[in-house]
Structure 1
Amino acid sequence: MANWKELSGEKNWESLLKPLNTNLRDYIKLYGKRVQVIYDSVNSEDKTRPAYAKEDLFSEAAIETGTFENLYTVTDYIFANSDVAPWFDWMVKDQYAWFGYVAVATDEGKRVMGRRDILICWRGTVSPAEWFKNAQFDQVSASEIFEKSQDPQVHKGFLSIYTSPSTEPSSSNLSARDQVMNAVKNLVNKPEYREEEISITVAGHSLGAALATLNATDIVTNQYNKRTGSKEACVVTAFVFASPKLDIVTDLPPSFISYKKVGMKLRIKSHKSALLNFIDGLQLHDIIPESHSLKEYLQGVTARQSQ
Structure 2
Amino acid sequence: MKNPLSPILYAKHAYNTTIHFIPATATTAMESTTTESKAPWPEVLGSNNWEGLLDPFDITLRLLILRCGDFCQATYDAFNNDKNSKYAGSSRYGKKSFFEKVMLRPSPTDYQIAAFLYATAKVSIPEAIFVHSLSRESWDRESNWIGYIATTTDEVSRTLGRREIYIVWRGTSRDFEWLNVFGAKSESAEPLLRQKTFGATPTTADSGETSSSSSDSDNDEIPRVMQGWLTIYTSDDPNSSFTKESVRTQVLTTIKHLVGIYKNEETSIIITGHSLGASLSILSAFDLAENGITDVPIAAFVFGSPQVGNQAFNDRLNQFSNVKILHIKNKIDLIPLYPSGLLGYVNTGVDFVIDTRKSSSLKESTNTGDWHNLQGMLHVVAGWNGEDGEFELKVNRSLSLVNKSSEFLKDEFLVPGSWWIEKNKGMILDGNGDWVLEPPDEEDIPVPSGPVEEMVTATSGDGEEKVTPAASGNNKRCWIL
TM over 0.5: yes
- Whether 1:261 and 2:353 are equivalent positions in the alignment is no
Greater alpha carbon shift after TM alignment, 130-139 vs 208-217: 130-139
Task: Name the CA distance, whole Å, in 2 between partners of 1:236 and 1:35.
Answer: 17
From 270, 285, 290, give the equivalent of 1:201. 270
Q: Which residue of 2 aligns with 1:65?
A: 106
Please report how far the alpha carbon of residue 70 of structure 1 lies from its aligned counterpart in structure 2 after TM superposition. Answer: 2.9
Pair 259,73 (structure 1): closer, same or farther in 2 beyond 3 Å = same
- Whether 1:166 and 2:228 are equivalent positions in the alignment is no
- Whether 1:14 and 2:51 are equivalent positions in the alignment is yes
Contact kept, 8 Å, 1:274 with 1:290, in 2: the verdict is: no
Q: Which residue of 2 aligns with 1:212?
A: 281
From 49, 62, 66, give the equivalent of 1:25. 62
Contact kept, 8 Å, 2:192 with 2:287, in 1: the verdict is: yes
Pair 290,130 (structure 1): closer, same or farther in 2 beyond 3 Å = closer
Greater alpha carbon shift after TM alignment, 13-22 vs 76-85: 76-85
- Whether 1:240 and 2:287 are equivalent positions in the alignment is no
Task: Name the CA distance, whole Å, in 2 between partners of 1:8 and 1:125.
Answer: 25
| TM-score for both structures, normalised by structure 1 | 0.83
Please report how far the alpha carbon of residue 182 of structure 1 lies from its aligned counterpart in structure 2 after TM superposition. Answer: 1.1
Task: Name the CA distance, whole Å, in 2 between partners of 1:99 and 1:112.
Answer: 30
Q: Which amino acid aligns with 1:83?
A: K
Q: Which amino acid aligns with 1:148?
A: D
Task: Name the CA distance, whole Å, in 2 between partners of 1:85 and 1:61.
Answer: 30
Pair 114,297 (structure 1): closer, same or farther in 2 beyond 3 Å = farther
Pair 132,257 (structure 1): closer, same or farther in 2 beyond 3 Å = closer
Q: Which amino acid aligns with 2:264?
A: E
Greater alpha carbon shift after TM alignment, 148-157 vs 28-37: 148-157
Q: Which residue of 2 aligns with 1:84?
A: 123
Pair 249,260 (structure 1): closer, same or farther in 2 beyond 3 Å = closer
After TM superposition, the structure 1 = structure 2 runs for residues 145-156 of structure 1, keeping only pairs within 5 Å, are: 145-146=192-193, 148-149=206-207, 151-156=222-227
Contact kept, 8 Å, 1:35 with 1:203, in 2: the verdict is: yes
Q: Which amino acid aligns with 2:287?
A: D
Q: Which residue of 1 aligns with 2:95?
A: 54
Pair 128,299 (structure 1): closer, same or farther in 2 beyond 3 Å = closer
Q: Which amino acid aligns with 1:36?
A: Q
Pair 47,244 (structure 1): closer, same or farther in 2 beyond 3 Å = same
Please report how far the alpha carbon of residue 5 of structure 1 lies from its aligned counterpart in structure 2 after TM superposition. Answer: 0.9
Q: Which residue of 2 aligns with 1:293?
A: 373
What RMSD in Å do the two structures reach over aligned CA positions? 2.8
Q: Which residue of 2 aligns with 1:89?
A: none
Q: Secondary structure at the match of 1:180?
A: helix
Contact kept, 8 Å, 2:121 with 2:236, in 1: the verdict is: no
Task: Name the CA distance, whole Å, in 2 between partners of 1:271 and 1:100.
Answer: 30
Contact kept, 8 Å, 1:4 with 1:113, in 2: the verdict is: no
Please report how far the alpha carbon of residue 274 of structure 1 lies from its aligned counterpart in structure 2 after TM superposition. Answer: 9.6
Contact kept, 8 Å, 1:80 with 1:166, in 2: the verdict is: no
Pair 22,185 (structure 1): closer, same or farther in 2 beyond 3 Å = same
Pair 15,176 (structure 1): closer, same or farther in 2 beyond 3 Å = same
Contact kept, 8 Å, 2:359 with 2:380, in 1: the verdict is: no
Q: Which amino acid aligns with 2:46?
A: G
Q: Name which one, 1 or 2, has greater alpha-carbon Rg.
A: 2
Unpaired stretches in structure 2, ≥5 consecutive residues: 1-24, 26-38, 126-130, 133-140, 194-204, 208-220, 308-328, 390-481
Percentage identity across paired residues of the two chains = 34
Task: Name the CA distance, whole Å, in 2 between partners of 1:294 and 1:140.
Answer: 29
Q: Secondary structure at the match of 2:46?
A: coil
Pair 258,55 (structure 1): closer, same or farther in 2 beyond 3 Å = same
Task: Name the CA distance, whole Å, in 1 between partners of 2:174 and 2:246.
Answer: 18
Please report how far the alpha carbon of residue 119 of structure 1 lies from its aligned counterpart in structure 2 after TM superposition. Answer: 0.7
Q: Which amino acid aligns with 2:291?
A: N
Contact kept, 8 Å, 1:274 with 1:291, in 2: the verdict is: no
Contact kept, 8 Å, 2:236 with 2:247, in 1: the verdict is: yes
Q: Which residue of 2 aligns with 1:230?
A: none
Q: Which residue of 1 aligns with 2:199?
A: none
Aligned residues: 285
Pair 73,276 (structure 1): closer, same or farther in 2 beyond 3 Å = closer
**1:223-268 deviation digits (Å, cap 9, x = unpaired):** 1x26xxxxxx111111100111554234211331111112111111
Task: Name the CA distance, whole Å, in 2 between partners of 1:207 and 1:159.
Answer: 11
Higher helix share: 1
Q: Secondary structure at the match of 2:71?
A: helix
Please report how far the alpha carbon of residue 19 of structure 1 lies from its aligned counterpart in structure 2 after TM superposition. Answer: 1.5
**1:164-186 deviation digits (Å, cap 9, x = unpaired):** 11355332411110111111011
Unpaired stretches in structure 1, ≥5 consecutive residues: 87-91, 227-232
Please report how far the alpha carbon of residue 202 of structure 1 lies from its aligned counterpart in structure 2 after TM superposition. Answer: 0.6
Greater alpha carbon shift after TM alignment, 116-125 vs 2-11: 2-11
Pair 128,25 (structure 1): closer, same or farther in 2 beyond 3 Å = closer
From 167, 177, 182, give the equivalent of 2:253. 182
| TM-score for both structures, normalised by structure 2 | 0.54
